[in-house]
Chain A
Amino acid sequence: MATALTAAAGTGTIGSVPGRRRNYARRYWAFAAPGTAVVLAVIVFPWLFTVFMSLHEWQPGAGTSWVGLANYVHLFTDPDFGWALLRTLYFSVLAVVAPLVLGIAAAVCFHQRFPLRGVARTVFILPMMATPVAVALVWSMMFHPQLGVLNYILTSLGLPPSQWTYSADTVIPTLVMVETWQWTPLVMLIVLGGLASLPVDPYEAAKIDGASFWQTFRHISLPLLWPFIVVAMVIRTIDALKSFDVIYVITVGGPGNASTTINIMLYQQAFSYYHLGYASAIVVVFFALILAISYLLLAVRQNAQ
């Protein structure tokens, strides 16, 4: 019997599973071809070409030459890249944590029943609908140290004015403030969806046991919401790491280089200095970094589930 099965599998002619798979692939490959071609053309080819460019000195108008790993060696010895990486991480951590904390708090708040809750929810998610460049332009006017409305409010309240994005010390927290204002609603929506799907039994049991609001939140809501929070964290982390428009429009990486994140540095190298080979090396390294962080977050999500 065993011999017969082995023989059948080997020939693949009597309805064996591998044989069926081969036939299936032969008959239906045409259906997968367009999608495969698109993926190869718009994802795989550009990626491979970027790697290829990163191995060259590549400047428009000056030709190209093979430099091997020189761009990578330069990258890892370039203090500007190190600082840009640190600023990116600093910005990303703040731009993930702040919307998460505020978004969870807002979700808990909007989960309660109160008059005009629907209207309040709609108003709360409005910032998310605005175009980031338009948002950045409006904020940059508000940040003006002498004429901006924010310093007017601060001084009206008897507080000292701030330099906002016009000081190296405050520029990144201020940019995070804009990100937080715009993307807290996204976190709120995800967590609110999670809250709506939670079972009521544990809450009833906690109520009978006399648990406080904080105890209920800490020991029931938070653990049950954890998978939703991780999803929000993954989305925010990816968004924060690739953030470009708001920073570019408000500060162009300044004052000095104080808000030059990797994306801003990358843009400068590629489209201001035309160092396309070096910029490609930055892309490759940054891609690897994002891949590693994503893998880490996915592992956390797996554990959460």
Chain B
Amino acid sequence: MIRRRDILKASAGLLAAPAIITVAAAQSTFDWKQFNGQHIEVSLTKNPRSDVLQRKQKEFEDLTGISVGAEQIPEQQQRPKVALEMASGHPSFDVLMVSLHVSKRLFGRAKWLEDLRPYLANPKLTAPDYDFADIGAGAVTTATQADGRMDSLPINPDLWIVYYNKALFKERGLAFPTSMDALLDVARQLTDKNKGTYGFVGRGLKNANVPVWTSWLLGQDQYTVTPDGKTLLTDTPQAVWAAELYQKLMHDCAPPGSIGFNWNECQTSFSQGKIGMWLDGVGFSAPLLDPKSSKVADSVGFAVVPKGPKAQHSASFVDAMAIPAASKTKGAAYLYCQWATSKPIMAEVLRSGSGTPARLSVYTDPAVVQANKFGKEWLDTVMQSQKISAPGLPEIVPVTEFRDTIGIALTNLIAGGDAATELKKATAAFQPVLDKSNAA
């Protein structure tokens, strides 16, 4: 007896056949099992993207037959660990997540990482549906060394945006500012120290505070070093303008004690509903939208960094996947990097609100967009910020020292220092360090 259900099943099978054949053809041309039985160790930094990778790890192991040992280490500890291990020539890992905004030039100079261009060009190693062209051009540029080697695959550009408290704006009858100058005005109007309400909060702690200043500096369409990486541009009139804006916001409009604030104190303050705006990485959206830990879960707004006098940019900080040149299982490691930066994983990262993937197609995937838990405003802000993203830190080897030196100057500004004097002093102190590093 032919049942209606059987006919429907058969019809569905026929309709799905072309798609199945396409996938099968793609799969048949690529051998995911070519390194079956090998084992790789993966060193990840602690963040929600790494959580996704570890949650999905079993899928990779089933797909490839490669066993994976992965561990997450807080960023501040992972950076020196991987650097010192690679300097020893015998790293304990075959894949690493690398913060390009800190380690790019150090790793590039030492040639510790495998150049991935030959891998990408090899159809035996790269799946036909990998679609490298889908990865944002800005992120690819960041992942490319000065000599043209591409020694990492971008996974996540952390974009800086402005979180704002819609309830506070509504209460004062204010609209979100469209320029950096207007942002200062609005921050002043929102500040009422007697009521404990402040218009702005941002990082004041040395080192951590530098991206706040560079975000304003990008509004002047200026980086912190010349394109050749040799001369500092940290005491130019544009740099002083950005420092003065930083000083006014942090001194006049930020809560007391913000001189020692890192992102966590900013997040805590903003989530209590007494702060108008907070400039920081988009990665802090999840805790702000969690009603258990945030009083602004219903009223938090997301906005692109307003335009400056000459340009509008969102400072970005790119994380990438890489393979140590000393790894003994580079093929298996490459398959892991490829899988970690593939469309399905990136889609899962965006869907779950774990980050802002480097792949552009996921932002227009209706299934992902609909399932994204942060809503349209967040998604629009991220997409627009992607388009105007620019590196938030200079691509130099001693970038941490740069952040500390400039960071001290910025801290001094909050305490009442003169912007031009402080930046001149910091520039004079750091230029010899940069010269020495370039000469090494």
Contacts and interface: CB of A to CB of B under 8 A. Distances in A.
Interface residues of A, number: 30
Given A61-B106, A272-B80, A273-B401, A257 B408 contact: yes
A141 to B, nearest CB: 8
A144 B80 contact: no
A161 B206 CA distance: 23
B257 A145 contact: yes
- Counting chain B residues whose Cβ lies within 8 A of the other chain, the interface size class is 35 or more
Interface stretch (B268-276, B285-293, B299-307, B378-386): B268-276
A255 B272 contact: no
Given A146-B269, A147-B269, A272 B257 contact: no
Given A62-B440, A272-B404, A146 B257 contact: yes
Interface string A219-235: 00000000000000000
Contact of A165 (B84, B107, B260, B400): B260
A294 interface: no
A166 B259 contact: yes
Nearest to B261: A166
Contacts of A173: none
B204 A147 contact: no
Interface in B393-437: 397-398, 400-401, 404, 408, 411-412, 415
B268 A255 contact: no
B112 interface: yes
B255 interface: yes
Contact of A146 (B112, B206, B272): B272
B325 interface: no
A256 B86 CA distance: 31
B83 interface: yes
Given A61-B106, A146-B274, A163-B256, A256 B83 contact: no
A168 interface: yes
B265 interface: yes
A172 B205 CA distance: 16
Contact of A147 (B84, B106, B259, B272): B272
A167 B106 contact: no
B109 interface: yes
A166 B201 CA distance: 14
Nearest to B264: A140
A252 B205 contact: yes
Interface of B is mostly: helix
A274 interface: yes
A251 interface: yes
B269 A274 contact: no
A16 interface: no
Contact of A254 (B86, B205, B269, B274): B205
B23 interface: no
Nearest to B108: A61
Given A61-B83, A254-B206, A255-B411, A167 B440 contact: no
A59 interface: yes
B265 to A, nearest CB: 6
B110 A256 contact: no
Interface string A143-161: 0111100000000000001
Contacts of B258: 166
Contact of B412 (A161, A256, A271): A256
B73 interface: no
Contacts of A161: 256
A167 B259 contact: yes
Nearest to B271: A147
B401 A168 contact: no
A62 B260 contact: no
Contacts of B265: 144
Interface of B: 80, 83-84, 86-87, 106-107, 109-110, 112, 196, 204-207, 255-262, 265, 268-269, 272, 274, 397-398, 400-401, 404, 408, 411-412, 415, 440
Given A163-B257, A167-B259, A252-B262, 16 more contacts: A61-B109, A144-B268, A146-B256, A147-B269, A166-B261, A167-B260, A171-B260, A254-B205, A254-B206, A254-B260, A255-B411, A271-B80, A273-B400, A274-B80, A274-B83, A274-B106
List of 4 A-B pairs having minimum Cβ-Cβ separation, nearest first? A61-B110, A166-B257, A145-B257, A60-B87
